[in-house]
Chains A and B, each alone.
Chain A
Amino acid sequence: MSAVLSRRGWLQLSGAGLTVALFGGCALPVIPKRPAPSLDDALGWVRHDGDGRYTLWLPRVEMGQGILTALEQVACVELGVGWDAVDVQLPGTRDIGRVKATVGSDSIKDFALPLAQGCALLREAVARGSFPAVGDTPPLLRWPAAHRPDLADPPLAQGRAIVTGRPLYVADVRRPGMVFGRVLYAPLSPEFASAPRVFDAAAAQAQPGFGALVHDERLGQGQARGVGIVAATLGALDRIERALAVQWQTQEPKAGWRELLDIDARLAQDPR
Chain B
Amino acid sequence: MELQINGRLHAVAAQWRDESLLHVLREHLGLTGTKFGCGIGQCGACTVMLDGVATRACVLPVAAAVGHELTTIEGLASPDGTLHPLQQAWLDHQVPQCGYCQAGQLMSAAALLRRNPRPDAAACEAAMHGNLCRCGTQ
Contacts and interface: CB of A to CB of B under 8 A. Distances in A.
Interface of A: 63-65, 155-156, 158-160, 162-169, 171-172, 174, 178, 180, 208-209, 232-236
A151 to B, nearest CB: 15
Main secondary structure, interface of A, reads loop
A164 B76 contact: yes
Contact of A64 (B19, B99, B103): B99
Given A165-B74, A235-B20, A171 B32 contact: yes
B135 A155 contact: no
B96 A64 contact: yes
A158 B100 CA distance: 12
Interface residues of B, number: 35
A163 B91 contact: yes
A155 B83 CA distance: 15
Rank and list the top 10 A-B pairs by shortest CB-CB distance, nearest first. A165-B33, A64-B98, A165-B73, A162-B99, A64-B97, A172-B32, A163-B87, A235-B19, A165-B74, A162-B96
B32 A155 contact: no
Given A155-B91, A232-B15, A235-B19, A165 B96 contact: no
A171 B135 CA distance: 18
Nearest to A155: B91
A167 B27 CA distance: 12
Contacts of A234: 19, 23, 27
B55 interface: no
Contacts of B18: 208, 235
15 contacts: A64-B96, A159-B94, A162-B102, A163-B73, A163-B91, A164-B73, A164-B76, A164-B87, A165-B74, A169-B100, A171-B35, A171-B36, A233-B27, A234-B23, A235-B18
